[in-house]
Amino acid sequence: MTLKGKITMPTVTSLNGADYGMVAGTGTDQTANFQAAINAAQTQGLPLFIPAGSYSITTVNITAPVEIYSAAGNAVIQGYQRSPTINVAPAGSGASFGPVYLHDLTVTGQFQSFPAGLTNPALISVSNVAGIAIERCSLLQSGHHGIYLDLSSGVIKDCTVSQPAEFGVYSVDCNNGGMLIDSNRVLYAGNNGIYIQRSSASGDQSIVSNNLIGFTSANDGGTGPFGNGVIVYLADFVKVQGNMIYSSAFSAIRFNGSSFAEITGNQCYSSSEMAIRIEAAASNTPFFGGIVANNIIN
């Protein structure tokens, strides 16, 4: 699997979710059957194919390298009495693992709530994974985030994230060369489209490129932490390039306390505040500026 560029992971012999009791369109809880299929795919080292149809789940856990896919997004994962979550993380205090490849899946939250007590719930939640690839997936109507990434690295490519209540794609403290977030459509986010953050000012190296980001709201208000197409906080060496960003409640692109930025070749339309904003952090964190070039602002 190539993580910075075209994603390739050969699909030869696959397991089929139907062989593990997954039945589409029943409206009954399919969590246990889906989890059994995932466990088998991880153990046998084979891809897992999910047949077309809708499957109701709560949370399934991916704890080892695996590929899960459907045909052209025809498998729809939805919630069973709450929002669904595909959780990708080591079991217990296990070591980081990868790769994990999720492609051609649709996950819809239908604006249902997540369980109480979770800090950053998302339709796809990734923690401590070295090599996550999410491609051609649709993440719809999340009651919180679309995709949440913590202490991970990899690629989010050619996905649609629509109507998340909070952030479309939220990456915190990524490692091993950062995240490539490329050629996605992030629409109608409740607070921010794409958010790159670190706990303290340090190198991140993420690239946010060629995305279409539109109609970003600032439902939680404030003076700028919400309502941005792309926001980068305390993350150095981040590139934001070639994106089309329109109708942001605040800025199209906002960097706070993030040095050595490269903001180039973006098209920013109808921002309700400053279109491109770079500012030092409010604390005494050193700040070294960045490059802003060849952007179009209307």
Going from the first residue of the chain to its last (298 residues), give the mean pLDDT of each consecutive group of 10, the final group possibly shorter: 49 87 96 98 97 98 98 94 97 91 98 94 97 98 98 97 98 91 98 96 95 98 95 96 98 96 97 94 80 97
What tokens does 139 get?
A: 């993440």
Rounded to whole angstroms, the maximal C-alpha distance in the chain is 58
Residue 212 tokens read as 């279409």
What pLDDT was estimated at residue 2?
A: 46
Strand partners, 254: 231, 277
Q: How far apart are CA 268 and CA 201, in angstroms?
A: 26
For position 73, what pLDDT does the model report?
Answer: 83
Q: Rounded distance, CA 101 to CA 95, Å?
A: 18
pLDDT for 284 equals 74
Q: Give Cβ neighbours of residue 71 (< 8 Å, ≥ 6 apart).
A: 49, 52, 104
- Structural tokens at position 245: 């960003």
Question: Residue 208 and residue 162: Cα distance in Å, rounded?
Answer: 17
- Write down the pTM of the prediction: 0.94
pLDDT at residue 1, as a whole number: 47
